[in-house]
């Protein structure tokens, strides 16, 4: 009887320690290079100080994007790359997004625009710039958002 109670408590702790925040959130992905829209589903799982983001393409099961956010260290992990907060931000109407980059800067630097409650807003990289939005937008709004992100990314701070 004691083993059964311990097992139930252990299983309950395991289930409740992994808080599922959001499931199957529709995401619209826009490219700077063309006007096509790709549809994704976003799943967010939180476990202690780590949040897992899974972007699943609705029409192609091979196209997936996984991000892991470590809240204690304020880093993003995508595949084998680790991205660090670079002290730059983008403020939307309701949220503040942070820019993350790899520590080693090379010819093809990649920036991720991210908020832990929203997820990924943009991937800014040479030749593959994408927005990840929860609402659809017009072509003009897409261009304005890209311009605002590039402006904030390249803004030089002077004291």
> What mean pLDDT, rounded, does the chain reach?
84
The predicted pLDDT at position 15 comes to: 44
What is the domain partition of the chain in residue ranges?
A: 20-154
- The residue whose two tokens read 């002290």 is 87
Q: How many whole angstroms separate alpha carbon 19 and alpha carbon 155? A: 37
DSSP code per residue over 144-158: HHHHHHHHHHHPPP-
The predicted pLDDT at position 154 comes to: 86
Mean pLDDT of 120-142: 90
The predicted pLDDT at position 51 comes to: 96
For the segment 23-54, what is each residue's pLDDT rounded down to a tens digit? 889 999 999 888 889 999 999 999 989 999 99
For the segment 60-113, what is each residue's pLDDT rounded down to a tens digit? 777 889 999 999 999 999 988 999 999 999 999 899 999 999 988 776 788 999
Mean pLDDT of 3-24: 51
């Amino acid at each position: 009887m004691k083993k059964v109670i311990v097992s139930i408590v252990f299983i309950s702790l395991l289930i409740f320690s992994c808080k599922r925040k959001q499931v199957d959130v529709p995401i619209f992905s826009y490219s700077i290079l063309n006007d096509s829209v790709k549809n994704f589903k976003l799943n967010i799982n939180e476990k202690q100080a780590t949040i897992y983001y899974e972007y699943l393409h609705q029409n192609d099961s091979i196209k997936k994007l996984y991000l892991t956010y470590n809240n204690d260290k304020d880093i993003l992990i995508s595949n084998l790359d680790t991205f660090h907060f670079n002290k730059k931000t983008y403020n939307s109407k309701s949220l503040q997004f942070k820019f993350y980059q790899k520590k080693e800067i090379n010819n093809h630097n990649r920036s991720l625009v991210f908020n832990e409650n929203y997820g990924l807003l943009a991937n800014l990289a040479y030749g593959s710039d994408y927005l990840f939005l929860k609402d659809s937008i017009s072509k003009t709004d897409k261009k304005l958002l890209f311009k605002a992100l590039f402006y904030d990314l390249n803004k030089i701070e002077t004291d």
